[in-house]
Amino acid sequence: MRIFQIQIELRGFKPKIWRRVLVPENILLPDFHEIIQISMGWMGYHLHQFIKGNKYYLPKNEDIDFWDDDESEDYTNIKLSDILRVEKDKVIYEYDFGDGWEHNIILEKILPYDNKLNYPFCIKGAMKCPPEDSGGVWGYAAMLEVLQDPKHEDYNEYKEWLREDFDPKFFDIDSINEALAEGSSI
């Protein structure tokens, strides 16, 4: 078994919010979704999909209005190595179709398995993940701008919603790896 070194990057936001994780190549997409959620700091409240070319990989759900048998594929039994095959291959991961959080998923390196490591494992990253339901990259950027101005009419509301200790630059790799190690479905 080989290990994929994957970069997960939130698209459209500066400074870059990203993670670098090591995962087994044969991990199923539903489990990789969980790894992305944990690594980035999302809570899993919303729909998600992987997009490669003109194909959408997501959980099969006949009740979803946009399910298209020609373009949508149930990802339940699809491995990450089925859609990322060689170094520099990319796929888009979209989370929360309302806010439209899109992530570039890049296969940076293919590595040999190291039995000294427990997979999945986050090896690097930067910045805190935006809070759920904060309006996509534009809404989050506007929120951070308001938080720089204590006289802004929305300042107190955002401070209360985000809690006093919210720091967009904070990145805690140890907490991410603890959560990844505890991930029951991974």
Whether 41 shows a pLDDT value over 90: the answer reads: yes
Q: What confidence score (pLDDT) does residue 184 get?
A: 46
Q: Does any domain span residue 97?
A: yes
| Residue 138 belongs to a domain | no
The answer as to whether 150 is a domain residue is no
**Regarding predicted confidence, which is higher, 94 or 72?**
94
Structure token digits, residue 16:
């870059």
Structure confidence at residue 186 (pLDDT): 46
Could you tell me if residue 51 is inside a domain? yes
CATH number for the domain harbouring residue 6: 3.10.290.30
The pLDDT score that the predictor gives to residue 148 is 93
Is residue 166 included in any domain, yes or no?
no
* 145 domain residue, yes or no: no
pTM for this one? 0.93
Q: What is the pLDDT of residue 67?
A: 64
161, 140 contact by CB (below 8 A): no
Using only C-alpha atoms, the chain has a radius of gyration, in whole angstroms, of: 17
For 92, what's the count of Cα atoms within 13 Å in the CB-facing half-sphere?
Answer: 14
Residue 32: predicted pLDDT = 98
The pLDDT value recorded for residue 66 is 67
Query: What average pLDDT does the structure give for the chain?
Result: 93
Q: Print the SS3 string covering 105-174.
A: EEEEEEEECCCCCCCCEEEEEECCCCCCCCCHHHHHHHHHHHHCCCCCCCHHHHHHHHCCCCCCCCCCHH
Domain count, the chain: 1
pLDDT in tens, 17-36: 999 999 999 999 999 999 99
| Residue at 21 is within a domain | yes
Closest by CA position to 108, among listed 87, 135, 81:
87
Assess if residue 20 is contained within a domain.
yes
Position of tokens 């999302």?
42
Q: Which domain holds residue 43?
A: 2-130+171-182
As a whole number, mean pLDDT of residues 108-115 equals 97
Query: In the predicted model, is pLDDT for residue 88 greater than 90?
Result: yes
The pLDDT confidence band at residue 68, using thresholds 50, 70 and 90, is confident
